[in-house]
A and B are shown apart, each in its own frame.
Chain A
C-alpha cells in the first residue's frame, strides 16, 4: 500500500541528489570541450600562453569534476536503495543504458583524466591533447546513455509487459536507443552544459578584465568562450524547440502545465510572460492568468507544427473531450484497476494450475494493459503535475536561455572590435550571469521531472508504486545525511573556486 510520506521523502532525496548533481555536471560537459579547444590551439600554434590558459581552466575543471562524480554514483545507486520496485519493474530496460554508460563512458573519462591532469610531462603533446578530447567525449557519452535512460522514462518504447515475471521487458534495444525523446533531451541537455561552460569562461574572464588582471589571457579565453557559447545558445534554442515538440506529442499533461493551459484550443497561444491565477483549481471557471503577454498561434505551431492544431488543456486531460477523442482520466483509472485485478487473478490461477481461468484473466489484462499504471492512482486530478512549478520553471529557463544568446553575441562582437574593456556593464552582466546559468539548468530539470509527475515511467508506473518499502524514518535519516554533506562540499567547492580565481591565471 502506498505510504504518501515515504514517497514524498524518497522523492525529496532523489530530487536533492539530482539538483546537486546538476550543479556540477553542466560545467564538466561544457568546460571539457572548451579546454580541449584551447589545448588544440596550443598544440597547433605552439604558443605557450595557450598552454597556461588551458592549465588554468583545467584547474577549475578539476575542482568541479569530483563532485559531479560523487553525486552521480549516488544517483545510480539510489535507483536501487530508494526505488527498488522501480528497479525490478523496469530494470530489464532501464539497467542496460546505465551499465553501458559505465563501460563505454565512465572508464574512458576516468582513465584519460589521469593523463589530462598528470601527463603533461609523461606523454607526447598529441597524446595529451587526445586524452583531453577523450575526457570531453567520455563525459558527453556518459550524458548520452543517462539521457537514453531518462528519455525512456518520459516516453517508454521498445518493451512489453511480462505477466509471469510481473515486469516490463525490453523487446527492442534499437527502439530504446533511438527513442526520439531521448535524443531531443540529450541534445538539449548537453547544449545547456555547453552554455554553462561558456558562461563560466566568459564570466570569469570578464572579472579579470574588470580587475585589469591577466587581461591578455582573459581576452583570449573570452573569445573562445563567447564563440562556443553563441553557437551553443543557438543549438540550445533549436534543440529546446524539438524537445518541446516531443513533449507535445508524448506528454500532453506536462505541456499543459508548462504553459498554464487549463482549457484546450485550436490555434493555441504561448504565454511569453505572465502570472498564473494563484488559487486556480482544475475544473473551475477562474481565468488562467492574472495578466499575460501572449504570442498568438505559437503553441499550436511549435507543439504540432501547424497553426490549426488542437492543444489539450488540463481540464480536457482530466475530464475528457469526446470531440477530440480524449478519454476521461476517471475511465482510465477504472480500466487500470481492472488490469491490476486481472493480473492478480492470473497469478493466482497459475499458482492453482487453473489454465482456463488464467487464460481468461490474461485476456482481460491484455485488453486493459495500456491503463495498468493508472490503476494505482487515487484521483483523476493526480494525472496533472504541479502547474505553478512547471510553468514558472519553464518560463524562467526560456527567458534566461534567450538572455544568454544576447549576452554571448554582444561579448563576441565587442571582443572582435577590440572594445570589450570599455563595456563595463556588459562585463559585469557576464560575471553575474554565471549563477543564472546554474539557475536555468536547474529550472530545466525541474520542468522535465516535476512535469513528469505523477509518473516514474510516463503512463505506466506512478512514483507511488516505484519506491522501496522502507520506513519513512530511514529515508529521513539519509536525506539529512546527504543534505548535510552535499551542502558542506558545495561550500568547500565555492570557497576553493573563488580563491583559485582570485589568485589569477598566472599561478597554475
Chain B
C-alpha cells in the first residue's frame, strides 16, 4: 500500500508514542518512591497504594507493548540492544518482577518476606528501574559498544554488557529526568485521585521540589542533546555529524512545534497545580509528556539518523532502514495498529468509571480486597 520507508517511519513514530505513553504511566513508579514521603502511618500508606495499585498493570503492559512493538517492527534493534546491553536490561527486568507481586503480597498475612521488603521492592522498581530505562533509552542517542557481521548477527565488545552506559553524562541526565518526571507525575496524579487533606498537603510540597529537579535535569538533557554529535547516514554509509539532533530539529519544523507545545503544556500543568489549586494538572501533564517524549524519540527516527549508533564500528550502526521488519510484516502490523485507538478508548472509559470519585480512607479501608 505504501513504500517501505513510510512504514518504517510510521513504526518509529508508534514506538516513540509508546515511549511517551510509558513515560506518562511511569507515574506509578514515581508514586512508589514517594510512599514513605507523603503517607504517614499504615492507613495513609494503604490509600496511596490503593491509588497506584489500580494502575500498575497498565504501566507494566505499556512496557511489554513497547518491547513487543520494537521486536516486531525493528527486530535488529531489539536483538542488538537487548542481547548486548544485557546487564542493563536484565536489571530492569528484575526491577519489574519484584514490583509485580508487591502490591498484592505487601499486607497479606504470612507473606514470607515481610511488608517492608515488598515496600523496598516498590521503591527499587520506582527508582532504579525507571532510572535505568531512561539510561537504556538514552543509549539510542549516544550509542552502544556492538558490532555486527555480514549476516547481521551482533555481539557486544566490552564485558560490562551495557553498564558502561552509566559513564556517559547524557545517559545519566536522561535517566534522572525520567526518574523525576515519574515523581512529578505521581504527585499530580495523587492530587487528582486522592481525597485526604494530610496526604495532599505533603504532595504539594513534594511536587514543588520534584518539579524543580525535573526541570533542572530536563534542561540539562535538552542542552546536551542539542549539542551532542549524532550519527547520520547516506546510501547506507554512516558518518558522525556535529549537532545532529539540533540539525534534525531545525530541519523538521513540525518537531519544533510539537516540542514547544509539549513543554508548554507540562509547564501549564505545573502552574495550575501549584498556584491555582487545580486537580486537573495530571491531564495536561500527561498530554505534554506524551507529546514531548514522542517528539524527542522522533528526533532519532527521521532525517537519515542512526537509531542506535555503534561506538565500536560506526558502519555497524542501526537505522530504521537497516533494522526493520520486512515490507510485508510492517504492512500487516500497520493494519493491526489501527486497533490502538480502540484500545486507548476502552482504557479511558474504564479509567474514568473507576476514578469518577476520588479515593478516600473509608473506601480503601472498607474494601476487603484492598492492597
> Within 8 Å of chain A (Cβ to Cβ): is B111?
yes
Q: Which residues of B contact A162 (CB under 8 A)?
A: 326
> Within 8 Å of chain A (Cβ to Cβ): is B254?
no
User: Please, how many angstroms separate the alpha-carbon atoms of A70 and B121 in the complex?
Assistant: 13
Q: Which residues of B contact A5 (CB under 8 A)?
A: none
Q: Which residues of A contact B325 (CB under 8 A)?
A: 91-92, 95-96, 169
Count of B interface residues, CB-CB < 8 Å: 77
User: Please, how many angstroms separate the alpha-carbon atoms of A79 and B50 in the complex?
Assistant: 33
> Which residue in B71, B159, B343 is a CB contact (below 8 Å) of A471?
B159
Q: Which residues of B contact A66 (CB under 8 A)?
A: 100-101, 103-105
> Within 8 Å of chain B (Cβ to Cβ): is A433?
no
> Within 8 Å of chain B (Cβ to Cβ): is A485?
yes
> Within 8 Å of chain B (Cβ to Cβ): is A291?
no
Q: Which residues of A contact B332 (CB under 8 A)?
A: 96, 170, 173
> Which residue in A343, A474, A489, A498 is a CB contact (below 8 Å) of B86?
A474
**Residue on B with the closest CB to A58?**
B369
> Which residue in B65, B87, B93, B356 is a CB contact (below 8 Å) of A106?
B65
CB within 8 Å for A69 and B354 given contacts A80-B81, A170-B329: no
**CB <8 Å contact, B67 and A77:** yes
> Within 8 Å of chain A (Cβ to Cβ): is B109?
yes
The 10 closest A-B pairs by CB, nearest first: A84-B83, A91-B75, A80-B82, A95-B72, A70-B100, A468-B83, A110-B57, A469-B155, A99-B68, A99-B72
Of B83, B98, B103, which is in contact with the most chain A CB atoms at under 10 Å from its CB?
Answer: B83
B358 to chain A, nearest CB (A): 12
**CB <8 Å contact, B79 and A84:** yes
CB within 8 Å for A102 and B64 given contacts A95-B78, A495-B111: yes
Q: Which residues of B contact A366 (CB under 8 A)?
A: none
User: Please, how many angstroms separate the alpha-carbon atoms of A97 and B249 in the complex?
Assistant: 35
**CB <8 Å contact, B111 and A77:** no
Q: Which residues B43-86 have CB closer than 8 A to chain A?
A: 50, 54-55, 57-58, 60-61, 63-65, 67-69, 71-73, 75-76, 78-84, 86
> Within 8 Å of chain B (Cβ to Cβ): is A406?
no
> Within 8 Å of chain B (Cβ to Cβ): is A492?
yes
Q: Which residues A406-443 have CB closer than 8 A to chain B?
A: none
**CB <8 Å contact, B64 and A106:** yes
Q: Which residues of A contact B63 (CB under 8 A)?
A: 73
> Within 8 Å of chain B (Cβ to Cβ): is A62?
yes
Q: Which residues of A contact B150 (CB under 8 A)?
A: 166, 344, 347-348, 351
> Within 8 Å of chain A (Cβ to Cβ): is B156?
yes
Q: Which residues of A contact B69 (CB under 8 A)?
A: 99, 102
User: Please, how many angstroms separate the alpha-carbon atoms of A344 and B156 in the complex?
Assistant: 22
Q: Which residues of A contact B78 (CB under 8 A)?
A: 80, 84, 87, 91, 95
Interface string of B85-112 (1 = CB under 8 A from A): 0110110011011111101110011111
> Within 8 Å of chain B (Cβ to Cβ): is A119?
yes
> Within 8 Å of chain A (Cβ to Cβ): is B346?
yes
**CB <8 Å contact, A73 and B81:** no
> Which residue in A106, A167, A169 is a CB contact (below 8 Å) of B152?
A167
Q: Which residues B24-60 have CB closer than 8 A to chain A?
A: 50, 54-55, 57-58, 60
**Residue on B with the closest CB to A494?**
B112
> Within 8 Å of chain B (Cβ to Cβ): is A470?
yes
**CB <8 Å contact, B90 and A481:** yes
> Within 8 Å of chain B (Cβ to Cβ): is A210?
no
Q: Which residues of A contact B104 (CB under 8 A)?
A: 62-63, 65-66
Q: Which residues of A contact B61 (CB under 8 A)?
A: 102, 106-107, 109-110
> Within 8 Å of chain A (Cβ to Cβ): is B1?
no
Of A80, A96, A493, which is in contact with the most chain B CB atoms at under 10 Å from its CB?
Answer: A80
> Within 8 Å of chain A (Cβ to Cβ): is B226?
no
**CB <8 Å contact, B111 and A117:** no
> Within 8 Å of chain B (Cβ to Cβ): is A450?
no
**CB <8 Å contact, A98 and B71:** yes
**CB <8 Å contact, B97 and A485:** yes
CB within 8 Å for A59 and B112 given contacts A101-B68, A165-B152: no
- 22 of the cross-chain contacts (CB-CB < 8 Å) are A63-B105, A63-B108, A69-B60, A73-B100, A77-B89, A84-B83, A91-B78, A92-B75, A92-B329, A98-B68, A98-B71, A102-B68, A103-B336, A111-B350, A113-B57, A118-B54, A119-B353, A173-B332, A474-B87, A486-B97, A492-B113, A495-B112
Q: Which residues of B contact A495 (CB under 8 A)?
A: 110-112
Q: Which residues of A contact B152 (CB under 8 A)?
A: 88, 165-167
B110 to chain A, nearest CB (A): 4
**CB <8 Å contact, B110 and A170:** no
Q: Which residues of A contact B346 (CB under 8 A)?
A: 108, 111
CB within 8 Å for A80 and B83 given contacts A99-B69, A106-B65: yes
Q: Which residues A133-191 have CB closer than 8 A to chain B?
A: 162, 165-167, 169-171, 173
B197 to chain A, nearest CB (A): 23
> Within 8 Å of chain B (Cβ to Cβ): is A227?
no
Q: Which residues of A contact B271 (CB under 8 A)?
A: none
> Within 8 Å of chain A (Cβ to Cβ): is B209?
no
> Which residue in B54, B73, B89 is a CB contact (below 8 Å) of A81?
B89
**CB <8 Å contact, A85 and B109:** no
Q: Which residues of B contact A171 (CB under 8 A)?
A: 328
Q: Which residues B322-371 have CB closer than 8 A to chain A?
A: 325-326, 328-329, 332-333, 336-337, 339-340, 343, 346-347, 350, 353-354, 356-357, 363, 367-369
**CB <8 Å contact, B72 and A98:** yes
Q: Which residues of B contact A119 (CB under 8 A)?
A: 353-354
Interface string of B156-169 (1 = CB under 8 A from A): 10010100000000
